């Protein structure tokens, strides 16, 4: 199962989500319905800044003819609990004031992380100048990341527009 992760600073929108696109059915349950044109079935867990989830799929429209249409079920915490989401910094500052260190890294964990990363940095240094892909601030990331997905017949979900399906 392919797993893709896109992360960056100064992208077009601050957004954290986990998007799961389910495999397209090899055939349609409804006669003469083109499977390749159905809305992709996906589940998106919106983590920040707007917490919630969206489930999107195709369903048969009511009536005698077999016509499919997109359906979207959306849940937003703010809509149901009337509370605006807090930033990660608010949570950390509050935990500092309470003395709760459960969300903070311990020194031994940081040291263990550097033990993993430092050999990679040393290997890059031995190779000489290694060009890492960069991108313009406010964009959706480096073009090389889009090309990587295209090689697998996929594309990134649009940043900031959850209504557009991914492929």
The residues pairing with 136 across neighbouring beta strands, listed in sequence order, are none
Superfamily of chain region 16-85+116-151: Dihydrodipicolinate Reductase; domain 2 (3.30.360.10)
What pLDDT, in 10s, does the model give residues 65-119? 877 788 999 999 889 888 777 777 888 899 999 999 888 889 999 999 999 999 9
**At 79, phi and psi to the nearest 5?**
-65, -35
Locate 137 and state its tokens. 């601030």
pLDDT band at 2 (very low <50, low <70, confident <90, very high): confident
Give pLDDT, residue 166. 41
pTM recorded for the entire structure = 0.70
Going by pLDDT thresholds of 50, 70 and 90, the confidence category of residue 130 is confident
- Give the strand order in the sheet containing 42-48: 16-21, 42-48, 52-60, 68-76
Q: How confident is the model at residue 137 (pLDDT cuts 50, 70, 90)?
A: very high
Nearest-5° Cα angle at 88, 82 to 94:
85
pLDDT in tens, 16-32: 899 998 887 666 665 66
Domain ranges of the chain: 16-85+116-151
Task: Determine the pLDDT at residue 37.
Answer: 66
- For 48, 49, 70, 76, 131, the CA distances from 84, given in Å and listed in that order, are 11, 10, 29, 10, 41
CB 103 within 8 A of CB 92: yes
Tell me what pLDDT residue 157 has. 87
The average confidence (pLDDT) of the chain is 84
- Nearest CA to 101 among 110, 92, 88, 89? 92
The first and second tokens of residue 104, run together, are: 């903070």
Q: Which two tokens stand for residue 91?
A: 């949570």
> Per the structure block, which two tokens stand in for 132?
């890492």
């Amino acid at each position: 199962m392919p797993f893709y992760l896109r992360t960056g600073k100064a992208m077009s929108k601050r957004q954290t989500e986990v998007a799961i696109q389910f495999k397209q059915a090899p055939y349609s349950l409804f006669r003469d319905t083109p499977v390749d044109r159905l809305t992709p079935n996906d589940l998106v867990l919106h983590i920040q800044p707007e917490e919630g989830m969206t489930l999107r799929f195709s369903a048969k429209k009511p009536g005698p003819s077999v016509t499919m249409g997109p359906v979207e079920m959306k849940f937003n915490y703010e809509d149901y609990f009337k509370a605006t989401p807090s930033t990660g910094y608010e949570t950390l500052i509050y935990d500092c004031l309470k003395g709760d260190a459960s969300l903070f890294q311990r020194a031994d964990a940081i040291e263990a992380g550097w033990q993993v990363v430092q050999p990679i940095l040393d290997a890059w240094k031995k190779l000489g100048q290694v060009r890492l892909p960069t991108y313009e601030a406010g964009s959706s990331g480096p073009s090389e990341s889009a090309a990587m997905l295209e090689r697998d017949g996929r594309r990134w979900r649009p940043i900031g527009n959850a209504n557009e399906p991914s492929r």
